[in-house]
Chain A
Amino acid sequence: MMMLKDELFSIGEKLLEEFKKYVDDCALLLTSSVKHQVRFANNIITVTKTWIENTLHACVDKNNRVAVFSIPLEKALKNPELAPKMALEMLKHANPREDYAPFPEPAKELPTIEHFDKTVIEKPEKGIELVIKTIDDFKNEGIKRVAGTMRLDAISSALLTTKGAEFFDLGTQVYLDVRTFMNGEITGAFSSASSHIDSLDIKSVIDIASYLAKASTETKSIEPGKYTTIFTPMAFGALSNFIGLASSAYAVILGYSFFVNKLNQKVASDIVTILDNPHLRRGFNSTPFDLEGINTNKKPIIEKGILKNYLHNRFTAKRMNAKLTGNAGWIFPSPWQLDILPGDSTFDEMLSEVKDGILVGNCTYIRLQNYILGQFSCVIRDGVFYVKNGEIKFRVKGLRLADSFPNILSNVRLLSKDRFHMYSWWFETDLSVSSPWVLVEKANFTKAFGF
């Protein structure tokens, strides 16, 4: 079902020759994928899904103008000149990009990354078996209902550029994302992601999602205000998705970033180091090359509290007079995968540090009032507890986290030794993250009228 290296290159070379007749430069990304999903709710599998797709994605340059498009590969093969001709027709009316830069010279050598699991292709039903077992395990933990997703994707990609890149990658992506319910309001959640099924940390998903659902069933209101707050790896993973977005140089240019004019300045507490790490062994979104044909690399976004890098493609690098970072995105450069370096605490030690505070299980629906100031609020759920003198006292209702990213980052005081590699539906900029538990001082919470 899936096309592999030789077949994709053969098609790609043919298309590239055709495209060269019309455009100055181009990059072609041919993808062939077979993806599976198992969804469950109320302790039963609700639907399975399978996607079989072969697609051509392209970025073409003509007279310093740029077009991007995607079409089914089959259609491109039937009529290879149609798409570049259409792109030219559209482009002739556009102005040249003032920040135009040609595609870079291709990488001479690509990193070797372990991120392919043949079981995903050979036995996707394994996902159904794992889900059935996971539901049973949660029932045995005393959880009343579980809902979630198991995903198993296999993707082969060939990138060809007119500058001579001819790269192939075969990777797999799997994740298990679970929400636990004791009733509609008493919930927990956790997830695990990897390239390999047997590297999923299902034990932690069961342990932590069960803990968050069961830790206390007593629910009370507390006063809004500033509290010492522990974020689970899932909650901080969701928040850090916006830190990833803010690091894109294009987000900075468009005013979608709280890192505007902050390069090489202090933006977080000294213990915070966040990497863009596309080389994580068995990482969910580990990848060897970017879409302009250079190798990806591991780099700090924030290092010991200092903003070290904006992430670039050829246009943003030209505009900011910076070096390429291996993060293209034909239009929007972005991180591949966030890697938040650990600290030296355990969760229990962190909890014992909280005299009057809150534990937050998950952050969802993060929306910004002002992107440049980083002011936001989000819905907190899946285990929100009041903590007094190191002990969880009760579950809190009606609160909302309403703060700013600069405050949150600057007030990080502890990071756990343990980290968890995860991907979740609520990771709103689609980034997989390795995150520890994180303790933040003076996080601000508000409460709705009516509670």
Chain B
Amino acid sequence: MHLDIEQFFDLAEFAVNYALEQGAKWAEARLQRDYSRDIFMRNGNIDAIGFSDEFGIGIRVLVNGSLSFASTDKLDKETIKTTVKQAIKMARAFKGDVKLSEEKMWEDRIIIRPKKDPFDISEGDKISFMKQIDTIALDIFKTKKMQSIRTIGLSWWRTEKYYVNSDGAKIFQVIPRIHIFVRLVGLHMGQAEDISFSLGNAAGWEKTESKEWRILERAQEHAEAIIKILTEAKKCPEGKMDVVLGPSVSGLAAHEAAGHGYEADRIWGREGAQAGESWIRPDFIGKKVANDVVTVIDDPTLPESYGFYLYDDEGVKARPRYLIKNGVINEFLHNRESAARFGTKSTAAARASAYNREPIPRMANTFWAPGDYTFEELIEDIKFGIYIKSFGEWNIDDRRYNSIFVSKEAYLIVNGELKEPIKYAVFEITTPALYQSIDAMSKHLEFEAATCGKGDPGQGVPVFTGGPHLRLRKIVIKCR
């Protein structure tokens, strides 16, 4: 495979050398191309087809402790000189206090090839595939004479990155991705309900036909769930009860109430005005915060995962990060800047969403480690509780301490069995209370794809959410 980007490798090296010549103490350059296409379908018709080719170079320099980033999409030596000079000029205009951790640097070339490259599949086949999903959902709504709005977005792209820095890193990575978003709205007697889901992998077209995606079944199940909410769901019970969360809800909780709080730049305060800070303090390493059964992993190396990478965007080799191990805070998500501030090593969490974004600590694929229960075993001793399979509204405060999830598809559990659907169960809880209420998880992991937002300007990076089913004991449930 020959890629256009390879003819520009020398420009990245030129940028680093030129920055050093101009007085930078340290410099990096990341040549990045995100070549994407997408199709947007509404009610079975194509509203738009699109593509984009984001291709440019991002340069960071460190001058007397001041960190400065500059990027351009004009790839010639003169423009790169101008860009480097601009970065250095800005860095010299203030006094910063940035240091970078010492890390082992690598030279490597990682090219992930999809089994079936989506760029080789005709748009006609893609539209037929989307149409099948649309038709399945439409037919389900029609059986109940319900109007519906169905939107489906399919996108596929290839990220090509060549990273070099003045410490000797030279990493070339090519990662393909494919993603689908489905949102269904049912309309019934003046009421409306919607459920959406999102699947994605660092892989190719083969995923659309996979059992893992089982997309047609999912579309059918979600349409049926909307009908149940609109026609059968009862007011949810209120009070303290046992709760089982499905993988899409448990995954969100792992991402929001665990992952984000462990990003070291938040803990230090660098994101204070934007995404926020954290209730976790630097001295919380080793602190017991959850039951022994709770382990939270963030693993960028999971093959074909949506958040997959093998080297981060500072050239550090990726590995699984155990954020919470058997109930104890174990490590944080670090880039080289935060690691130096904390006197530790990077955990290879530096990610930049595009050539024109700076690399900052991010998650990849965050999940509660699985347990050894089946779903039936998880619910069998629950006398009265609820099972929350999917969520609608959710949010969490910027310290990652106080979160809310409101159910979409949810059911009563009575004497160990699933019963009737219930509507809008509200599960509003502090993070320590959440951690401490978990007493078991299923052995089966199920992932969904999400785009995690952080940074200023915003950086959406692909991540897996999902995980096992979780059982929580004696949680306060309210009704919206």
Contact = CB atoms under 8 A, between A and B. Distances in A.
Nearest to A50: B70
Contacts of B97: 44
Contacts of A95: 45-46
B45 A97 contact: yes
A74 B75 contact: yes
Interface string A82-118: 0000110111111101100000000000000000000
Interface in A359-414: 364-373, 375-379, 381, 398, 400, 402
A224 B65 CA distance: 47
B365 interface: no
A91 B75 CA distance: 30
Q: Which has the most chain B C-beta neighbours within 10 Å: A74, A178, A179, A369? A: A369
B44 to A, nearest CB: 8
A278 B86 CA distance: 32
B277 A184 contact: yes
Contacts of B53: 69-72, 75
Given A95-B46, A254-B42, A370 B194 contact: yes
Contacts of B393: 367-369, 375-377
Interface residues of B, number: 90
Interface stretch (A192-200, A289-297, A442-450): A442-450
Contact of B68 (A47, A70, A87, A177): A47
Interface stretch (B121-129, B292-300, B342-350, B438-446): B121-129
Interface in A416-451: 425-426, 446-451
Interface string A161-179: 0000000000000000111
Contacts of B395: 364-367, 377-379, 400
A46 B270 contact: yes
A69 B51 contact: yes
B256 to A, nearest CB: 10
A68 B52 CA distance: 9
Interface centre among B53, B124, B268 (most CB of A within 10 A): B53
Given A42-B272, A402-B480, A425-B274, A185 B399 contact: yes
A53 B93 contact: no
B154 to A, nearest CB: 12
B398 interface: yes
Contacts of B127: 93-94
A125 B93 contact: yes
A244 B279 CA distance: 33
A128 B90 contact: yes
Most buried by A among B39, B274, B480: B274
A31 to B, nearest CB: 11
Contact of A71 (B48, B52, B397): B52
A39 interface: yes
Nearest to A74: B74
A330 B40 CA distance: 13
A148 B39 CA distance: 37
Interface stretch (B24-32, B169-177, B205-213, B400-408): B400-408
A50 B404 contact: no
B428 interface: yes
A29 to B, nearest CB: 13
Contact of A97 (B47, B56, B98, B457): B47
Nearest to B391: A369
Interface string A22-60: 000000000000001111011011111111111100000
Contacts of B95: 45
Q: Which of A71, A92, A177, A381: most chain B Cβ within 10 A? A: A71
Interface string B185-196: 101000011100
B476 interface: yes
Contact of B402 (A70, A184, A448): A448
Interface stretch (B158-166, B311-319, B429-437): B429-437
Contact of B273 (A41, A94, A98, A124): A41
A132 interface: yes
B262 interface: no
B277 A87 contact: no
B452 to A, nearest CB: 14
Contacts of B50: 67-69
A139 interface: no
Contact of A93 (B123, B187, B268, B358): B123
B151 interface: yes
Interface string B107-139: 000000000000000111011000000000000
Nearest to A1: B82
Contact of B66 (A45, A75, A124, A448): A45
Contacts of B123: 89-90, 92-94
Interface string A248-289: 000001110000000000000000000000000000000000
B353 interface: no
B476 A449 contact: yes
A446 B428 contact: yes
Given A369-B406, A451-B430, A52 B86 contact: yes
A98 B45 contact: yes
B55 interface: yes
B5 interface: no
Contacts of B273: 41, 147-149, 177-179, 189, 425
Given A72-B73, A369-B424, A446 B478 contact: yes
Interface string A320-331: 000000000011
B475 interface: yes
A106 B225 CA distance: 47
A214 interface: no
A90 B49 contact: yes
B461 interface: no
Contact of A86 (B51, B67, B70, B475): B51
Contacts of A149: 273-274, 456
Given A47-B69, A52-B83, A90-B49, 15 more contacts: A49-B70, A52-B72, A52-B73, A52-B82, A65-B49, A68-B48, A94-B39, A128-B93, A145-B269, A365-B396, A367-B393, A369-B406, A369-B424, A379-B396, A448-B429
11 contacts: A42-B270, A50-B86, A52-B82, A54-B74, A67-B48, A94-B127, A369-B392, A379-B395, A379-B397, A400-B395, A450-B429
- Lowest 9 A-B CB distances belong to which pairs? A450-B430, A147-B272, A450-B433, A369-B393, A365-B395, A449-B476, A93-B124, A147-B273, A179-B273
